[in-house]
Amino acid sequence: MTAVTGMLEKNYLWRIYWRLAGVIMVCVVIALAVVSYFSHRVFDRELVPETEQKAATVAASVRALILKATGYGVAFNELYGVEQTFGEVFEENPEFAYAAVTDLDGKVLFARGKEADQAREYFRRDTVRAVGLDPTATWIAAHVNGQYFISMPIASDKPLGILHIGIDGKFVDNVLLEVMLDVLVVLVVSLFFTLELLNFMAGARLASGLGEFGQQVDRMRSGDFTATARIRANDEIGRLLRRIDAAIDHLNVRYEFLVGELDDKLRAATGPRREQLRPAVQALESIRARFRFGSASKDSETDEMNLNRIRAPLFAFILAEEMTRSYLPTYVNQLLVPIPGLSPQVVIGLPIMLFMLIVALGQPYLGSWSERVGRRRAMLIGASIATVGFAATSLAINLYDLLLWRSLCALGYAMVFVAAQGYVLDRTGHDNRAQGFALFIGAIMVATVCGPSIGGILADNIGFRASFGVSAVMALTSLLAIARLPTLEVRTLTSQRPSRGPRMREVVALLLNKRFMTLTGLAAIPAKVILTGVCFYLVPLYIVSIGNTSAMAGRMLMVYAVMMVLIVPLSASLSDASMRRDRYVSVGLIISGLSGMLLLVSDSFLVLFGVVFLLGLGQALSIAAQSALVAEHCQEEIRIYGSDAVYGVYRLLERLGNAMGPLIASILVIFWGYQGAFIAISGMVLVCGIAFTIATRGMDWTPAPATS
């Protein structure tokens, strides 16, 4: 009950943000419509003549072929296989819809493709037939009922006939359709950018001020009138809070005065006077029982205001890394250097694996390191290293130095991630830790929605190297935002214990523990394997291998991220309420396992959208419940080794699963190709999911206290 009003005030602010964002989005949509309209006009005006010119060149080569055939003595109207040549023309030039050869009277001799309604009449027009008879004519263009025609005479030493090629009138629309998809992506990303920016620009003060207001209301409702010695800002909320402070102070002064007076009277009183004072004393007792006065204790202090500040820099930094997801494997492919003994497929996965490995191994140790040097400084160092990493990646010469630079990015990423986590831990107490982490995870998830899609679009248009440069700029921006974080380090009581990495013997002991490994080995690790294997390795490479663009890969990864953003909060609250977290994990795993099976149904790459959709759904269902399940499932182990160690090993193994994903995926590709790899990796996860369900069926579940 205590935190309810506080939450309401927080939601109020977000409701305002959504309304503002809605208004902004409507304006943006209108503006984009205007831009698209004008683009369409430009494309129409400029592209059509160019395409006609190309059609003329293609027609000239077809004509040369026809003349060669007639040169060998084949009669013009006895030519065979002209439609086959037309078919080849259509294949190489998909914007051509129709081709025909007519005789000098305009009668069609050979034709192929979609014929426009009035084409035949057009061929018989005098102006058109004149082209056939004029030896000096090059070609003419005309617009006939939705198709653009170019017509060219065929003549050896005497006129023979006329060649027509029809260009699909809608080809400009088709070209612009591809742009439309990207513009849609830009819209979605803009929406998320807007929310983040609003949050950033409105200032931490507003959010924290409202939050504190809510907290004050709750505290006072519960009878806590202790005075907090805080400095208030000079805006509306600040002034409001100051007035509340003043009211509390007045109360406290009254109370002190009354208590003092009573004490004096009690000391001076004797005998029957004492009896007279008794009701007053009782009243005081009852007041003391219901209310609290005085100064607030330090440990209820949480640094709400500064907590919010972490969101913007974290978002910017994670965005920088997420932007690379849709095109990194293709970039690696370009810089590939054959390594003897390793298949090229595996080599492509090496940078991703190395990245995940460094992040996995670094996390336990970076936690205590960032505590020692200070969270802000740790983040500054991490972001700087990552900036250098990104910039160097854009200039990479070949695979070897790429590995080095990606290691730098990984180091920086791990540093920032762990330090940001610690920052949140420092500034939250037990009651608002979940909210704090919701903020943390929220920033990351929004970055995973925006990053890959924008990155893919950039990569297609300005190239891989420049896109890494943009990531470097993004990391630099986050550096500036990190610099604005408070330099004063804060510790709340609950985070006083120093964190340490898991020790080797703990790792081994837990690895051999059946209960622990049921959860970790059958659920957590497979979930991460399919995540990195599919999203970071298979999707970008497969999409590009069938000739599609990085932007398309980015769109698919965006679908995955959107599913996570939508479903994780839902599944978190549902699984908390139902208390059968293991079911959520099972269902999530099985759905993830079925995702790749869609490729058995259809060959088209569009089915990949369904794959990432199901994958996102499955992952979202299981991920929220999984970590809470550790506390439930492994209570015995937590008792023996401590919750730190158990969670530490769990996370370590989970992240090693991250690193194994691309390796497993690449090996599967070697054996069965891309489609087979999708199916196989999903099959593996499906098997693990079923095994997990069977292993945990009928186990005794005791709800554990909620932990972070």
Partner 1 sequence: MGTIRVRFILVALVVSFFAVGMAAFLNYFKYKSTIGNIVKSRVLVVGRGIENSVQASLQLGMQFSELSQLPQLMQREKGTDRLVRGIDVFDYSGQVIYSTDRARVGQKVPATWTQAAERSKTTEWTADESDEFVAGISVKNAFDLTVGFLALRYGRDEVERAAATAGREILLAALASFLGIAIVAPLALIVVIRRFERDLRSLEAAASHLEDRQQAPPSSGSAFDSAIGHLRASLRDANTSLDELRAKLDAAG
Partner 2 sequence: MSILRILAVVACAAWLLIAESDAGAQAARRYRIYAITFRGMTDVERGFKEYFEARRIPVDITWRDMNRDPAKMAGFIDEIRATRPDLVYTWGTSVTLGVVGTYDAYDPARNITDIPVVFTLVAAPVLAKIVPDLKSSRRNVTGVFHVAPTEAQIRAMASYRPFKSIGILYTPTEQNSVVVVDEVREVSKRMGFTVIAKPLKLDAAKRVTAEGAPEMVRELKEQKVDWLYLPPDSYLGTQTKGVIIPAAMEQRLPTFASTEQLMETGALTGLVSRYHSIGQFTAYKAEQILVHKVPPARIPVETLTRFSLQVRMDVAEALKLPPPLPMFNYAELITPGKPTAPQ
Q: What residues between 160 and 179 interact with partner 1 by CB under 8 A?
A: 175-176, 178-179
Binding to partner 1 by CB under 8 A, coded x per residue (else -) over 91-130, reads -xx-------------------------------------
Question: Under rule CB under 8 A, which residues in 318-377 are in contact with partner 2?
Answer: 339-340, 354, 358, 361-362, 365-366
Between 279 and 340, CB nearer to partner 2: 340
205-224 footprint of partner 1 as x/- string (CB under 8 A): -x------xx-xx--xx-x-
Beta carbon nearer to partner 1, 60 or 597: 60
Measured in Å, how far apart are the chain's first and last C-alpha atoms? 19
Residue 655 Cβ vs partner 2, minimum distance, rounded to whole Å: 14
Of 55 and 354, which has the nearer Cβ to partner 2?
Answer: 354
Dist. CA 426–CA 223, nearest whole Å: 27
Identify which of residues 503 and 583 has a Cβ nearer to partner 2 in the complex.
503
For the segment 305-364, give every residue that binds partner 1 (CB under 8 A).
334
Place of tokens 């504190």: 212
Task: Tell me the C-alpha distance between 460 and 56, whole Å.
Answer: 30
Among 130, 283, 337, 493, binds partner 1 (CB under 8 A): 283
Which residues lie across from 343 on neighbouring strands? none
Neighbours of 267 (CB within 10 A): 8
Phi and psi angles of residue 399, each rounded to the nearest 5 degrees, phi first? -55, -35
What is the rounded distance in angstroms from the CA atom of residue 643 to the CA atom of residue 640? 9
Gap between the Cα atoms of 633 and 626, Å rounded: 10
Cα dihedral 564/567/570/572 (nearest 10): -40
Structure-derived torsion over alpha carbons of residues 270, 275, 280, 284, reported in degrees to the nearest 10 = 80
Q: Residue 13 burial (CB < 10 Å; 0-12/13-18/19+)?
A: middle
Residue 251 contact, options partner 2, partner 1, none, Cβ 5-8 Å cut-off depending on partner type: partner 1
Query: Is residue 639 a contact point for partner 1 (CB under 8 A)?
Result: no
48 near partner 1 (CB under 8 A)? no
User: Which region, judged by CB under 8 A, interacts with partner 2, from 71-79, 305-313, 488-496, 619-627?
Assistant: 71-79
Q: Give the span between the Cα atoms of 130 and 553, in whole angstroms.
A: 51
Binding partner at 366 among partner 2, partner 1, none, C-beta below 5 to 8 Å by kind: partner 2
For residue 224, the cross-strand partners are 292
Asked if residue 141 binds partner 1 (CB under 8 A), the reply is no
Task: Report the SS3 class of residue 553.
Answer: helix
Binding residues for partner 2 restricted to 19-58, rule: CB under 8 A: none
Taking the C-alpha atoms of residue 603 and residue 601, their distance in angstroms, rounded to an integer, is 7
Under rule CB under 8 A, which residues in 396-435 are in contact with partner 2? 400, 403-404, 407, 411
160 binds partner 2 (CB under 8 A): no
> Which CB atom, from 59 or from 524, has the smaller least distance to partner 1?
59
Give burial (CB, 10 Å; 0-12/13-18/19+) of 38.
exposed
Instruction: Give the whole-angstrom CA distance, residue 547 versus residue 348.
Output: 18
- Choose the contact partner of 328 out of partner 1, partner 2, none; CB within 5 to 8 A by kind: none
> If you ran DSSP here, which 8-state letter would residue 705 be given?
P
**Which member of 353, 379, 457, 608 binds partner 1 (CB under 8 A)?**
457
Q: Is 84 in the site for partner 2 (CB under 8 A)?
A: yes
Interface residue list for partner 2 (CB under 8 A) = 65-66, 68-69, 72-74, 78-82, 84-85, 88, 339-340, 354, 358, 361-362, 365-366, 400, 403-404, 407, 411
